[in-house]
Amino acid sequence: MDVTPGTPLTDFPGVGEARAKKLEKLGLTTAGDLLTWYPRDYEDRRKIYTVAEAPPEGRVCVAAMAAEHPRLSRIRKGLELVQVKVVDHTGALHLTFFNQGYIERAIRAGEEYIFYGAVEVQGRRRTMVNPIFERMDKQSFTGRIMPVYRLTAGISNHMLAALVRQALPCAQGIPETLPQHIRQAHSLAAAEFSVKNIHFPEDEKALALARRRLAFEELFYLAVGLHFLKSRRGREGEGFPIPPRPKGDFLALLPFAPTGAQSRVMDEVSADMAGGRPMNRLVQGDVGSGKTVVAAYAGWLCAGTGCQGALMAPTEVLAEQHYKSLSALLAPAGVRVGLLTGSMTAAEKKKTRSALEAGDIDFIVGTHALISEGVAFRRLALIVADEQHRFGVAQRAALAAKGGENAAPHVLVMSATPIPRTLALIIYGDLDVSVIDQLPPGRTPIATYVVREDKRQRMYNFVRKQVAEGRQVYIICPAVEENPDAALPGEESPALNLKAVKTYADKLQREVFPDLRLGILHGKMKPREKEAAMSAFSSGQTQVLVATTVVEVGVDVPNASLIIIENADRFGLSQLHQLRGRVGRGQHPSHCVLITGTRSLEAMERLHTLASTTDGFKISEEDLKARGPGDFFGNRQHGLPQMKLADLAGDMRLLSQAQEAARTLLDQDPRLTRPENRPVWERVRRLFADTPDIFN
């Protein structure tokens, strides 16, 4: 079969409709998609052992001959065993295959094979369970460095590697988009060589060359795209000059003294807004560091000159919360705060929109409803976006466009995902970065425990104890409902035993806590239902809230003192840290319990990292190492392309080389109009497709 990058995977042998759907879950629909589905790791299968030499640690390749015809036995419905003895001149190896009936016909007595798996020693007997195997004269997955891919239920690594191997011939047609002089200056391998060797490397050296080329390429295009973002920012023209006001007047409104870090960031914001250019600032601060006070300060400065501010929050629950806290804080200073969300009635929305257009609201808090048609401002001078990684650059631009023709509004972005400063400057390339690196006094430290399934009963007792003392409890689950199609028989499924909010809440209410008041909250509920569930918990009507990660962002219930996170190994470290920040907001001792049934040492190590520190920056660096920046930010349209290979935390040297190459190219050809640079322009345009106005 002739394969081109556009060949659909359904044309590949063995890919029927069901398998194609599973591959589509990974974003794989064509041969070209397979080429850029880079391995997450590699297994060195080059050393071939004899039966006697094969070490019983880890997975190894063993060469042996089938000494007999395989025996198939059906133990019970849904469980088949195939057993076969294989031998070489040093001894015998006993193989067992579960639910793989075809093996009976696939292995033939007298033929020689390479078997790859874990050898176990039981007395004098050596065994291997479910090894991968191939005939010695037809090796393709043994005797080599083998890629390990990210998978989904029903797609094995062996299957995916076989598909990638079939797609590899079309790497010959990959166009070379990096200019020749950049490749030469930085000693970068060719595109075809790099794609082939990132998947099936000839040796370690070839893998290092391939990885360096492809990572450099990602960082180079990121740097070029960010240059266009920054130059767009330079064209934004005049900002609204907001003159400073006596800071003491604002501090008098606060029920506490701000930390030194808060005070420093307020000064930076004030200086930005007083200048002639629009402010573009990212305020990073750990959970509970007091970023909202900085937003309130910016809104207060704005209102003092007759201008308007808008705060955009990612959820209605959070918008409502900001509205309440900002109203309480700013009303005494005469600042009129409004609220606009999707679930308000048509009449409420109309009234708010009219007030906004007439200038009767100084500071509006809302969700995406703020960027909808029909929302007009009298004099919008400030935009505050909460939780930047949930807002695309394009959405920020859409709100900024409501500032009118005369001047561009100031932009303040708040993020509770602490990321290393150098990385923040790259990712938020069009923003200046401020860090609130102190927690306000009085924040209760949160004790964190990693707990196995066998301690579940003790944990339930602990829930009762907290509720008896008048406290409230969050129980977080990774799924909304159970997925019966998650696994095929005989396959381990990542969705196996995942706690699902609906069924688990039901079970808890019936069997575990029949006498407690349980609430439920998840993303599939209607906005009104979510609001009702959240306010019932906030007001103390419900004692235990069983929820998904919708509570991750900004829900503030000072009386909640315990958060339990089920299947904790399924979450990223930064997300767990965010969830943990839901407690410890009042004066009561607070606890976070991470429940896991994982057997992975790596996953346990990550959870223990979280238990050992509450430093968000340290946690995010660990998270970046573990997951890479693409997953770290999630592909929730933050407006920047996914990094598939480049490790922004570890590849700092490569990053500075890529930035230097981008700078040199753009100095020579600022708009990339020369014919030899058009491929770069096209590639950047495709990568930044979520930010359509980048090239305006």
pLDDT at 115 over 60: yes
Q: Please indicate, yes or no, if residue 139 is contained in any of the structural domains.
A: yes
- Name the β-bridge partners of 71: 83
What's the pLDDT score for residue 265? 93
- Give the least confident one: 177-191, 212-226, 253-267, 681-695: 681-695
| CA 98/CA 76 separation, integer angstroms | 12
| CA 214/CA 385 separation, integer angstroms | 33
Task: Determine contact, residues 507/486, Cβ cutoff 8 Å.
Answer: no
Residues 324 and 471 in one domain: no
Q: Please indicate, yes or no, if residue 676 is contained in any of the structural domains.
A: no
Task: Determine contact, residues 536/560, Cβ cutoff 8 Å.
Answer: no
Can you tell me which residue has the tokens 């604002």?
250
Can you tell me which residue has the tokens 């969700």?
367
pLDDT band at residue 683 using 50, 70 and 90 as cut-offs: confident
The per-residue pLDDT for range 3-48, each reduced to its tens digit, is 888 899 998 988 888 899 999 888 899 999 999 899 988 988 999 9
Task: Determine contact, residues 637/392, Cβ cutoff 8 Å.
Answer: yes
What's the pLDDT score for residue 696? 54
Average pLDDT over residues 668-684: 88
How much of the chain, in percent, has pLDDT values that exceed 70? 84
**Residues contacting residue 57 through CB under 8 Å, at least 6 positions apart:** none
Neighbouring CB atoms inside 10 A of 243's CB total 10
Q: Please indicate, yes or no, if residue 23 is contained in any of the structural domains.
A: no
| CA 418/CA 424 separation, integer angstroms | 9
Mean pLDDT rounded to a whole number for the chain: 84
| β-pairing verdict for 432-436 and 280-285 | parallel
The per-residue pLDDT for range 133-172, each reduced to its tens digit, is 999 988 888 888 999 998 888 888 888 999 999 999 988 8
- Overall domain count for the chain: 3
Q: CA 215: distance to chain centroid?
A: 19
DSSP result, 37-73? ---SEEEE---EE-TTT--SSSEEEEEEEE-S--EEE
φ/ψ (deg, to 5) at 525: -75, 160
What's the pLDDT score for residue 369? 81
Task: Determine contact, residues 181/619, Cβ cutoff 8 Å.
Answer: no
Can you tell me which residue has the tokens 């794609």?
195
Select from 118, 143, 168 the last residue of a domain. Answer: 143
What's the pLDDT score for residue 655? 79
Of the candidates 262, 319, 261, 299, the residue with the CA atom closest to the CA atom of residue 556: 319
**Which CATH number does the domain housing residue 522 bear?**
3.40.50.300
Task: Determine contact, residues 476/325, Cβ cutoff 8 Å.
Answer: no
Average pLDDT over residues 430-447: 74
Task: Determine contact, residues 522/501, Cβ cutoff 8 Å.
Answer: yes
What's the pLDDT score for residue 387? 65
Select from 143, 169, 184 the last residue of a domain. Answer: 143
Q: Please indicate, yes or no, if residue 681 is contained in any of the structural domains.
A: no
Residues 388 and 265 in one domain: yes
pLDDT at 313 over 70: yes
Residues 515 and 371 in one domain: no
Average pLDDT over residues 178-202: 92
Helix (H, G, I), strand (E, B) or coil at 292: helix
Q: Please indicate, yes or no, if residue 180 is contained in any of the structural domains.
A: no
The per-residue pLDDT for range 347-380, each reduced to its tens digit, is 999 999 999 999 999 999 998 788 777 888 888 9
Residues 418 and 514 in one domain: no
Residues 122 and 256 in one domain: no
What's the token pair of residue 228? 């266009």
What's the token pair of residue 656? 């500075």
Residues 532 and 566 in one domain: yes
Of the candidates 280, 282, 289, the residue with the CA atom closest to the CA atom of residue 261: 289
Residues 510 and 590 in one domain: yes
Residues 374 and 422 in one domain: yes
Whether the pTM exceeds 0.85: the reply is: no
**Residues contacting residue 221 through CB under 8 Å, at least 6 positions apart:** 641, 680, 683, 684, 687
The per-residue pLDDT for range 276-286, each reduced to its tens digit, is 788 888 888 77
pLDDT at 242 over 80: yes
* pLDDT: which is higher, 619 or 254: 254
Q: Please indicate, yes or no, if residue 352 is contained in any of the structural domains.
A: yes
Q: Please indicate, yes or no, if residue 629 is contained in any of the structural domains.
A: no
- Name the β-bridge partners of 380: 308
Task: Determine contact, residues 101/49, Cβ cutoff 8 Å.
Answer: no
Give long-range contacts, CB 8 A cutoff, 24+ apart: 463-467: 463/513, 463/544, 463/562, 463/564, 464/513, 464/516, 466/561, 466/562, 466/591, 467/516, 467/543, 467/544
pLDDT at 417 over 70: no
Task: Determine contact, residues 616/577, Cβ cutoff 8 Å.
Answer: yes
**Which CATH number does the domain housing residue 138 bear?**
2.40.50.140
Residues 285 and 364 in one domain: yes
Q: Please indicate, yes or no, if residue 631 is contained in any of the structural domains.
A: no
Residues 406 and 261 in one domain: yes
Residues 269 and 288 in one domain: yes
Q: Which domain holds residue 607?
A: 446-483+495-613
Can you tell me which residue has the tokens 């040492």?
601
| CA 265/CA 289 separation, integer angstroms | 12
What's the token pair of residue 509? 């209410």
Q: Order across the sheet with 308-312: list the strands.
A: 337-340, 363-366, 308-312, 380-386, 410-415, 280-285, 432-436
Neighbouring CB atoms inside 10 A of 635's CB total 12
What's the pLDDT score for residue 298? 95
pLDDT band at residue 635 using 50, 70 and 90 as cut-offs: very low
Residues 362 and 500 in one domain: no
What's the token pair of residue 585? 């907001």
Select from 143, 175, 209 the last residue of a domain. Answer: 143
| CA 115/CA 95 separation, integer angstroms | 9
